[in-house]
Amino acid sequence: MSQPDLFTLTPRFDGETFEPERDEDRLRGQLSKVRALMLDGHWRTLQTISRECGYPEGSLPGISARLRDLRKPKFGAFTVSRRYLQDGLWQYRVTP
């Protein structure tokens, strides 16, 4: 089964503070970058994902949220695995 194209999905982001006109394009772009990077199946920390996608360190909560979004059926129902490294540091991997 092929994964849906993020640009043709009709489901939207949601949440208490989500405002479509303000947030939809930004979140969809961030999700697209994270998805494209992570589908190679390599393990990465949030810091590495942020850096490789071109986002500042302050975007780590957003990167984490996009990984959670990838688990949702409306955004592809990917498997997002994590493994503990040390000192509170985790790595993540995305697979279909």
14 within some domain? no
5 within some domain? no
63 within some domain? yes
The answer to whether 43 touches 92, Cβ cutoff 8 Å, is yes
Q: What CATH number does residue 83 fall under?
A: 1.10.10.10
Q: Which domain holds residue 58?
A: 20-95
Q: How many angstroms separate the CA atoms of 96 and 86, rounded?
A: 27
Residues 6 or more apart whose CB falls under 8 angstroms from that of 67 comprise 34, 38, 49, 80, 92, 94
40 within some domain? yes
pTM: predicted TM-score of the whole model, two decimal places: 0.83
- Rounded to 5°, the CA angle 49-55-60 comes to 60
38 within some domain? yes
Q: Considering its fold, how many domains does the chain have in total? A: 1
pLDDT per residue of the chain (96 residues) written in tens, 0 to 9: 555 555 555 558 877 888 888 888 989 999 999 999 999 999 999 999 999 999 998 899 999 999 999 999 999 999 999 999 999 999 999 999
